[in-house]
């Protein structure tokens, strides 16, 4: 089996949380996508959205 490629770290304290899920994802793209998803989920929004 080939060696697992390292994933670029998520910013700040998100890396420790994201690293817990590395065993669930088999490819580098999945691990990277999960880190980007967490970053986007927790970043503040530029504008407030109001429900109508």
Q: Is residue 52 part of a domain?
A: no
In total, the chain counts a number of residues equal to: 52
Percent of the chain with pLDDT over 70: 88
The domain containing residue 36 runs over which residues?
Answer: 8-41
Q: Is residue 20 part of a domain?
A: yes
Q: Is residue 1 part of a domain?
A: no
Q: Is residue 2 part of a domain?
A: no
- For the entire predicted model, the pTM comes to 0.74
pLDDT at residue number 35: 92
How many domains does the chain divide into?
Answer: 1
- Whether 1 has a pLDDT exceeding 70, the answer reads no
CA distance 7 to 21: 12
Over the stretch 10-26, which tens digit does the pLDDT of each residue have? 888 888 999 999 999 98
Sign of CA dihedral 35, 37, 38, 40: positive
Q: Is residue 16 part of a domain?
A: yes
């Amino acid at each position: 089996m080939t060696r697992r490629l390292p994933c670029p770290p998520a910013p700040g304290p998100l890396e420790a949380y994201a690293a817990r899920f590395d065993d669930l994802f088999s490819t580098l793209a999945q691990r990277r996508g999960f880190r980007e998803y967490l970053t986007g989920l927790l970043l503040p929004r530029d504008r407030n959205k109001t429900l109508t």
